[in-house]
Amino acid sequence: MKISIIGYFDMGSSIGIDDSPFIDEDKRRRFEELTGLSIKFPVTDFPPEGVNLPIGTGLKIDLMNSRILSLWQEGARSKADEMKGAINILSDAKEMEEAIKKIFHQFKITKCFMNVYSIGIIFLRLDIEGLPSEHNNSIINFYRWFERAVYDCIYEQLKVIAQNVLVCFGDTGDFKAISTRIKLDEIVGASELFKDGLFCIVICEEGDDKDKIIKISQKYEGQYSFQSLNLDDGILHLGWAVCVLEPRRDDYDYGRTIDPERIIDLLHITQVFFGICKTFENLFAKSISESVRKSIEGSNSRAGLMQKLRKIFGKKVQTNSRDKFDVTTLNKLRTIAGDVVELTNFSSISNNISDICLFNAFEKYANINAKHSRIRASSDIFLTVQNEIVRLENEIQEKRLTNALFVLTSLTFVSVLADIINTVDYVHQIIPDPRLRFIILVLPPLLIILIIWKFVISAKKH
């Protein structure tokens, strides 16, 4: 019996939408020196044949001989011992202890790697084989030991890898800044990094009690009944948290068992697509919330009026970096929203009917099409609110300039008036009567200032 543990987490920001950020060999070399990990690019063994992946194949990070894998295994054994201690009052405690000892003695890790996608998702996979079939009852517990070990033992190391990716490959213009969803430095728990948990694929082998494995896995799944899919490369019993894969024999190749790797790769793609949609859905939802809050604060309410007055008179008002964007940035955000929707469209990546069957089944759980709709709607609302904020900012700037122009004009007239008065005082014979001289010299400038002021007020109202 085998299991494959897969999952994803958000590295907080995007550095591109395809593999272009990873092309630079010097950056890849710097990343290897910084992390001590071996990487592979381009990835040639993924995606499976006939599948077009517009987000790219990503940067593959090998964890097989890493400290991370050692900590992961140690953590899983520790979690197993904790469970054994928790059930030692039960009658099957001895059976559990025997199962733990045998499982950890026999199992073998065959794959452990990460795929980094520039759009901001990191995929994690661990493959384990050699699990004794007589301990089917412990298969879900075994998965949960490794799952808990991720959350408690290695999530900090995974977070550091994500930070190093941003350091080494994240200097591609302002794309990283405008796509920031979370700051890794502010994450204080694994539940924030792995918000959707991990996914377990149980792979049956010859001699395994498939019905029993399906029953145990379905009990763990709980909320959803498995969807049984008769695919080209095997029968997949698909759930939301766990699935069971039965490889099939090839009737045209002397009964050879078909490698189920293609199905696992397709599940890999579903996890990545779901992660991309969810993270960008959260990005625009958060942006809308912040923008609407700022828009309300800047409305015609008394509080909003006071804020406008403070802005007009030049007092600094603290703002968030996402409070306003220029037109160019807004256009980029609109483009990102459209790209995310197009890049995560299952219907455009494969024409294989078996692949489409799997994607459609996953869609029933994930509702990615609904997420696409929310991303489009959220981005439109966000852009509308931001354009209004930009308009108000421009209006405030124009008012400031108008007020400054009025003050300067008034001062100019006062200065000219003073010069005229001095000149006329020097030549008394022009207007002998001082009162008449004052009226003639003062009223015209005052009338001109009044006309200018009325013009300014009228312009502001419009």
217 found inside a domain: no
Considering the domain boundaries, does residue 246 fall inside one? no
Q: Are residues 287 and 346 in the same domain?
A: yes
Number of Cβ within a 10 Å radius of residue 78 = 15
| Mean pLDDT, residues 386-408 | 76
Write down the mean pLDDT value for the chain. 82
Rounded to an integer, the average pLDDT of 118-134 is 92
- Amino acid at the residue 223: Q
Query: Above pLDDT 70, what percent of the chain?
Result: 77
Does the pLDDT of residue 298 top 70, yes or no? no
**Helix, strand, or coil (residue 75):** helix
Residues 292 and 309 in one domain: yes
Question: Closest Cα to residue 66, out of 97, 96, 27, 39?
Answer: 39
- Do 370 and 412 share a structural domain? no
139: enclosing H helix or E strand: helix 139-149
Residues 388, 369 share a domain: yes
Indicate whether 190 belongs to any domain.
yes
Structure tokens at 165: 């990716």
167, 188, 203 — which closes off a domain? Answer: 203
Tokens encoding 4? 């494959």
CA distances from 243 to 197, 219, 403 (A): 14, 11, 69
Give every CB contact of residue 427 below 8 A, 6+ residues apart in sequence: none
The pLDDT score that the predictor gives to residue 76 is: 94
Q: Are residues 408 and 373 in the same domain?
A: no
Q: Is 32 exposed, middle or buried (0-12, 13-18, 19+ CB in 10 A)?
A: middle
Query: Does one domain contain both 68 and 148?
Result: yes
Q: Is residue 138 domain-shared with residue 161, that is, in the same domain?
A: yes
| pLDDT level of residue 426 (50, 70, 90 thresholds) | low
Query: Are the CB atoms for 346 and 225 separated by under 8 Å?
Result: no
Query: At 395, which helix (H) or strand (E)?
Result: helix 368-426
Given a contact cutoff of 8 angstroms between Cβ atoms, the answer to whether 131 and 142 are in contact is yes
210 lies in a domain? no
Range of the domain at 392: 273-398
Position 121 in a domain:
yes
Q: Is residue 422 part of a domain?
A: yes
pLDDT score for 306: 44
* 138 shares a domain with 122: yes
pLDDT at 367 over 80: yes
pLDDT at 187: 84
Q: Tell me, yes or no, whether 255 lies in a domain.
A: no
With cut-offs at 50, 70 and 90, classify the pLDDT of residue 173: low
CA separation, residue 71 to residues 127, 149, 150, 171 (Å)? 16, 8, 9, 31
Tokens in use for 139? 């298969």
Say whether pLDDT at 436 is over 80: no
Report field, pTM of the whole predicted structure over 0.85: no
Choose the final residue of a domain: 380, 398, 416: 398
Listing DSSP states for 396-454 in one string gives HHHHHHHHHHHHHHHHHHHHHHHHHHHHHHH-TTSS--HHHHHHHHHHHHHHHHHHHHH
Overall average pLDDT of the 312-318 stretch:
43
* Residues linked to residue 250 through DSSP beta bridges, in sequence order: 256
From 217-221, 245-249, 413-417, 427-431, the region with the lowest mean pLDDT: 427-431
Residues 85 and 304: beta-carbon distance below 8 Å: no
Q: Is residue 106 part of a domain?
A: yes
Nearest residue to 344 via CA among 363, 361, 329, 357: 363
Q: Where does a domain end: 188, 203, 218?
A: 203
**40 and 177 both lie in a single domain:** yes
**Minimum mean pLDDT among 41-50, 148-157, 164-173: which range?**
164-173
Q: How confident is the model at residue 254 (pLDDT cuts 50, 70, 90)?
A: low
* Residue 420 and residue 360 share a domain: no
Q: How many domains does the chain have?
A: 3
Helix boundaries (H) for 252-367: 261-297, 302-312, 327-343, 353-366
Interatomic CA distance for residues 240 and 196, integer angstroms = 10
Per residue in 300-312, pLDDT (tens digit) is: 444 454 454 445 4
Same domain (yes/no): 350, 407: no
Quick: pLDDT tens for 13-40. 999 999 999 999 999 999 999 999 999 9
**Is 24 in a helix, a strand, or coil?**
coil
Contact 360, 297 (CB under 8 A): no
Both 394 and 430 in a single domain? Answer: no
